[in-house]
Amino acid sequence: MENIRQAVERAKARSAYQSEPSLKPPPHEVRHAFGLGQEDRALPELELDPTYLQSRRIVGYDGKDIRSRPFDLLRTEVLSSMELKGWKVLAVTSPTQGCGKTLVAVNLALSMARQSNCQVCLADLDLRKPQVAASLGLKHRQGVLDVLEGRAAIDSAGVLVRVGSSRLEVIPTMASSDPSDLVASPAMKAFLQDLAGQGRSRIVILDLPPLLAGHDVLSILPQVDCVLLVAAVGTSKVSEIEDCYKYLQATDVVRFVLNKAPESAARYAYY
């Protein structure tokens, strides 16, 4: 914990995080039948727009881009730990909003999806402020909220996305007016069990809400295998990180990511 404290304090004194570039229109949508591993089902398939992704700092799909290397390193470490323990479900969260948890979750998922032997599903479970669809340039379609409220089946809730050599399933969501009730519902438990049960080589990444923003994450933690905690220089307080670890005592924390750190303050900086 002292190392985390020192890293945060050193990075706070350095340069500020740059603002996000302006958004560009979402990519053209194409429907295509495609099977994912052992799954025998047709899902819409979209070709993502690299220019749009670049505008959102989404680079994990391009192994030749030097900016993808921190995510590739994180991918190697996370997959190694998960394979060792037989874990399949990884939750990504942060102490508070503004830490870049969705940025890390999306880039990590795309980096994993470049591996030919790795099937990846990225699900947006931040029912308060979902960001996965916007990060990828996806228009709203059936997703997590539709499944939880009984308007869609899980087999039709996702969309296959392709960019570069990355191909993965994404299950987006819209914001809910009663997220706390939904995340604690039997429907959510069944949803997560279904996701975890689809294929031995399938890795499920859940983009969760910030841990300290409410009780949503605490309701989901018992159903995940491990957690990736994302904090940010200039945003996260050391006391908030310590509070997170108190809540995560019964959960395996596979890695801690310090985001928005200046390159000179850390060997691997996440922008």
Nearest-angstrom CA–CA distance, 262 and 230:
16
Q: How confident is the model over 213-241, as a mean pLDDT?
A: 94
Q: Which CATH number fits domain 2-16+32-259: 3.90.650.10, 2.70.210.12, 3.30.390.30, 3.40.50.300?
A: 3.40.50.300
Q: List all residues 6 or more positions away from 35 whose beta carbon is below 8 Å from its beta carbon.
A: 41, 42
Q: 123 with 145: CB under 8 angstroms?
A: no
Q: Specify whether the CB–CB gap between 204 and 89 falls below 8 A.
A: yes
Does the global pTM surpass 0.85? no
Distance CA(23)–CA(179), nearest Å, equals: 27
Residue 226 confidence (pLDDT): 97
Percent of the chain scored above 70 by pLDDT? 80
Question: What are the C-alpha distances in Å from 95 to residues 171, 252, 258, 263?
Answer: 23, 16, 11, 22
Residue 23 reports pLDDT greater than 50: no
**Are 130 and 14 in contact, with CB atoms under 8 Å apart?**
no
Query: Which sequence spans correspond to the domains of the chain?
Result: 2-16+32-259
Per DSSP, the three-state class of 191 is: helix
Q: Could you tell me what percent of the chain has a pLDDT over 90? A: 69
> For 80-97, what is the mean pLDDT?
96
Q: Are 22 and 55 in contact (CB under 8 A)?
A: yes
- Provide the mean pLDDT of the chain: 84
